[in-house]
């Protein structure tokens, strides 16, 4: 069955819709039908608005639908400050369209029964984020998924997975969405998905913002109040949930690991701004109608909770925003603490093995004739592997335009030097790093980066950018500009030019100079002799020995492996534009 825009709109305008029982879903609409439906809402009701918030990589607009009772249609509207903003993102993976249909049904329901829309709420809905992938429609890319018959494709026009794009922000889609996110500054963010992996009885599993890596006040509120209330509400709707099933070993009985959404992911990005994020993950093998209904049910549970708790959520976020401006140390790079875990009841199916008719080897399967409820371990405690001391200012040279563009896009407050200035500052040198050996999302990311801080006098130029670290965007600033961060701009290759030495030497010419250097520096000469004594290969390599001296001389490039972003640790007066 295929939808058409006409059928969608006529069925909406002519049928009585029931808030508790959405219609039966067997198919998902095309991109054109989705947008026609939202435009139909605008035409019919006039209170809401479908806004073009930017472009996508396919050249088509990205839309945002805004719904509220007091006609709060723009972020600057006077009634906005008293309302909680719920931001729902759909179709980041268009082959997982449950949220697309559930959002349309939610808007229909709220217009049919406006009393269900809380007075204190603004709902912002992205009908389809990955417009490119939604248009690239087919039947076979989701081999393990039970419907709908046709759906979009995971990759966008650049073949990017947009749920790996948030901190690096390569896609026009992502830039457009982040611009809207920064304008609206939502308190709560939902990204709708369909899971893969193990089989189990739940239709809906949930990823909530990982509690350890977000501001402690926000993390505690999510963990002790928000999540338990959503679980209870969904249970009352007969859509009992469990945490997203990311298993320690092959089956859930080995334990479930809390998902760590770093800033490359949508909710990891949202957490940088103290926004409470949730990823709905319906189970791939449940019927499509059940999955859409569960997602719709989650939306309804969220609205009920925000109607009551919206003011408290705003208070918690505001307190976190204030605290982050004054925080001194920021944790980075999280690792699972396997010594700490909770136990939760888990409703699964018995995992068994049988001989594969294809390979003749043992293969896993889940026996749905043998459901069970067992107690399993839930590992959801992470500890930081590194931390960064916040400087008073960063200085980012204007040459790094890709970095500047992303900082500006995300509301980072910056001023520009009004004249060339030499500054005593702390500069990092990249001492070591590893790099992916194959492409990942159009990059070759670095990891296990280690830096060494050196105090230097560095000349910066008129127009370079100065960032004071007393702002609500500090977490984003630190995560992106500290090179040891797992999802830093350095990790995503934005500064790779510094890793290549530009000037060298000819050993037959530099030989005499090296002799003079060693004669003037007995400590260096001793280090050279020790290395020759302890390293046979080095002792037999003439060029390596001359290079040893060169690398420790004044001729060595001071900018090689020097991270170009300066850290100002002490108060000073900088000549910046007002």
Contact 268, 261 (CB under 8 A): yes
- Strands 188-194 and 84-89, by their bridges, are parallel
Whether 520 and 491 map to the same domain: the answer is no
Task: Flag whether pLDDT at 20 surpasses 60.
Answer: no
Residues 217, 269: Cα–Cα separation, whole Å: 18
Per-residue pLDDT tens digits for 437-481: 999 999 999 999 999 999 999 999 999 999 999 999 999 999 999
Decide if 459 is inside a domain: yes
Report CA-CA distances (Å) from 317 to 20, 208, 547.
31, 16, 54
Q: Provide the percentage of residues in the chain whose pLDDT is more than 90.
A: 90
Same domain flag for 515 and 426: no
The pLDDT, as a whole number, for residue 21 is 53
CB distance 356 to 322 below 8 Å: no
In this structure, the answer to whether residues 121 and 236 fall within a common structural domain is yes
Q: Report the largest interatomic distance among the alpha carbons of the chain, rounded to a whole angstrom.
A: 94
Q: Is 307 inside any structural domain?
A: yes
Q: What average pLDDT does range 344-368 have in this prediction?
A: 97
Q: What is the pLDDT of residue 19?
A: 40
| Residue 136 counted as domain residue | yes
Can you tell me the distance from the alpha carbon of 233 to that of 239, in angstroms, rounded to the nearest whole number? Answer: 9
CA–CA separation, 316 vs 134, rounded Å?
Answer: 36
With respect to residue 512, please indicate whether it lies within any of the assigned structural domains. yes
Distances (CA, A) of 160 to 129, 130, 170, 174: 13, 10, 9, 11
CA distances from 284 to 247, 287, 560 (A): 16, 8, 49
- Specify the DSSP element, H or E, that contains 352: strand 342-355
Is the same domain home to 516 and 480? no
| Statement: residue 240 has pLDDT above 70 | yes
Least confident of 128-142, 153-167, 220-234, 540-554: 540-554
The CATH code of the domain that includes 182 is 3.40.630.10
437 CB neighbour count, 10 Å cutoff: 7
In a domain, 576, yes or no: no
517/490 same-domain check: no
What is the tens place of the pLDDT at every residue in 161-193?
999 999 999 999 999 999 999 999 999 999 999
pLDDT band with cut points at 50, 70 and 90 for residue 519: very high
**Residues 429 and 524 grouped into a single domain:** no
> Tell me, what's the pLDDT at 129?
98
Whether the predicted pLDDT of 30 surpasses 90: yes
pLDDT value for 229: 98
Whether residue 159 is found in the same domain as residue 201: yes
Tell me, yes or no, whether 471 lies in a domain. yes
Q: What is the DSSP string of 372-424?
A: EEEEEEEE--EEEEEEEEPPSEEEE-TT-HHHHHHHHHTT---EEBSS-EEEE
Q: Is 351 domain-assigned?
A: no
d(CA 485, CA 472): 19
The predicted pLDDT at position 200 comes to: 98
Contact at 8 Å (CB) between 538 and 527? no
Which positions ≥6 away from 561 have C-beta within 8 Å? Answer: 429, 430, 431, 498, 499
Q: How far apart are CA 447 and CA 485, in angstroms?
A: 8
User: Where is 50: in which H helix or E strand?
Assistant: strand 49-55
**DSSP one-letter code for 336:** E
Instruction: For residue 183, give its domain range.
Output: 5-325
Report pLDDT digits (tens) over 523-571.
Answer: 999 999 999 999 999 999 999 999 999 999 999 999 999 999 999 999 9
* DSSP designation for 224: I
Percent of the chain past pLDDT 70, that is, above it, reads 96
**Last residue within a domain, chosen from 482, 500, 518:** 500
**Residues 274 and 396 reside in one and the same domain:** no
Rama region for 159: left / alpha / beta (φ>0; ψ in -120 to 50; rest): left
Most confident of 17-21, 42-46, 76-80, 224-228: 224-228
Considering the domain architecture, whether residues 435 and 287 belong to the same structural domain is answered as: no
- Angle (nearest 5°) at CA 401 between 477 and 128: 70
pTM for this model (two decimals): 0.93
Average pLDDT of the chain, as a whole number: 94
Q: Are 549 and 416 in contact (CB under 8 A)?
A: no
Asked if 86 and 122 count as a contact pair (C-beta separation under 8 A), the reply is yes
In a domain, 284, yes or no: yes
* pLDDT tens readout for residues 281-340: 999 999 999 999 999 999 999 999 999 999 999 999 999 999 999 999 999 999 999 999
Cβ atoms within 10 Å of 459's Cβ, excluding its own: 9
pLDDT at 12: 36
Residues 461 and 540 in one domain: no
Judged against a pLDDT cut of 90, whether residue 91 lies above it is answered with yes
Is 336 in contact with 382 (CB distance < 8 Å)? yes
* Same domain, residue pair 94 and 120: yes
CA–CA distances in Å: residue 265 to residues 172, 259, 297: 16, 11, 24
Q: Does residue 534 sit in the same domain as residue 486?
A: no
Total of domains in the chain: 3
Residue 250, pLDDT > 70, answer yes
């Amino acid at each position: 069955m295929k939808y058409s825009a006409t059928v969608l709109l006529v069925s909406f305008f002519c049928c009585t819709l029931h808030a508790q029982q959405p219609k039966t879903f067997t198919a998902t609409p095309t991109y054109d039908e989705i947008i026609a439906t939202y435009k139909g809402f605008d035409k019919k009701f006039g209170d809401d608005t479908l806004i073009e918030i930017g472009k996508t990589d396919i050249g088509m607009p990205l839309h945002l639908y805004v719904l509220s009772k007091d006609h709060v249609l723009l972020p600057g509207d006077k009634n906005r400050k008293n309302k909680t903003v719920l931001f729902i993102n759909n179709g980041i993976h268009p082959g997982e369209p449950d949220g697309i249909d559930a959002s349309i049904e939610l808007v229909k329901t709220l217009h049919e029964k406006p009393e269900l829309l809380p007075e204190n709420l603004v709902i912002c809905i992205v009908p389809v984020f990955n417009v490119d992938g939604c248009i690239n429609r087919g039947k076979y890319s989701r081999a393990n998924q039970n419907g709908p018959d046709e759906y979009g494709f995971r990759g966008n026009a650049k073949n990017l997975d947009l749920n790996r794009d948030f901190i690096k922000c390569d896609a026009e889609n992502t830039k457009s969405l982040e611009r809207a996110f920064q304008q609206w500054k939502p308190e709560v963010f939902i990204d709708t998905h369909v899971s893969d992996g193990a089989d189990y009885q739940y239709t809906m599993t949930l990823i909530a913002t990982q509690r350890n890596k977000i501001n402690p006040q926000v993390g505690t509120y999510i963990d002790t109040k928000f999540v338990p209330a959503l679980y209870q509400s969904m249970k009352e709707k007969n859509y009992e949930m469990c945490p997203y099933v990311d298993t320690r070993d092959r089956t859930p009985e080995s334990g479930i690991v809390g998902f760590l959404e770093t800033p490359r992911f949508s909710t990891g990005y949202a957490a940088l701004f103290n926004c409470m994020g949730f990823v709905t993950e319906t189970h791939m093998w449940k019927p499509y109608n059940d999955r859409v209904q569960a997602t719709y049910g989650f939306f309804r549970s969220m609205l009920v909770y925000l109607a009551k708790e919206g003011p408290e959520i705003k208070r918690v976020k505001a307190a976190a925003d204030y605290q982050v401006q004054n925080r001194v140390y920021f944790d980075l790079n999280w690792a699972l603490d396997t010594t700490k875990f909770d136990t939760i009841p888990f409703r699964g199916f018995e995992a068994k093995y049988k001989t594969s008719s294809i390979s003749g080897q043992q293969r896993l399967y889940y026996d749905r004739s043998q459901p069970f409820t067992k107690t399993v371990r839930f590992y959801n405690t992470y500890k930081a592997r590194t931390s960064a001391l916040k400087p008073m200012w960063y200085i980012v040279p204007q040459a790094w335009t890709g970095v500047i563009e992303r900082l500006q896009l995300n509301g980072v407050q910056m001023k520009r030097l009004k004249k060339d200035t030499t500054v005593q500052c702390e500069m990092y040198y990249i001492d070591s790093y590893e790099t992916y050996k194959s492409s990942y999302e159009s990059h070759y990311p670095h990891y296990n980066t280690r830096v060494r801080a050196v105090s230097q006098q560095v000349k910066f130029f008129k127009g370079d950018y100065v960032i004071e670290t007393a702002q609500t965007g500090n977490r984003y600033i630190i995560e992106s500009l500290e090179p040891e961060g797992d999802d830093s701009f350095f990790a995503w290759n934005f500064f790779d030019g510094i890793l290549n030495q530009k000037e060298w030497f000819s050993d037959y010419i530099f030989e005499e100079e090296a002799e003079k250097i060693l004669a003037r520096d007995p400590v260096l000469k001793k280090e050279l002799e020790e290395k020759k004594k302890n390293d046979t290969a080095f002792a037999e390599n003439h060029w390596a020995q001359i290079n040893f001296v060169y690398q420790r001389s004044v001729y060595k490039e001071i900018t090689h492996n020097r991270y170009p972003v300066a850290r100002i640790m002490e108060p000073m007066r900088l000549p910046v534009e007002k």
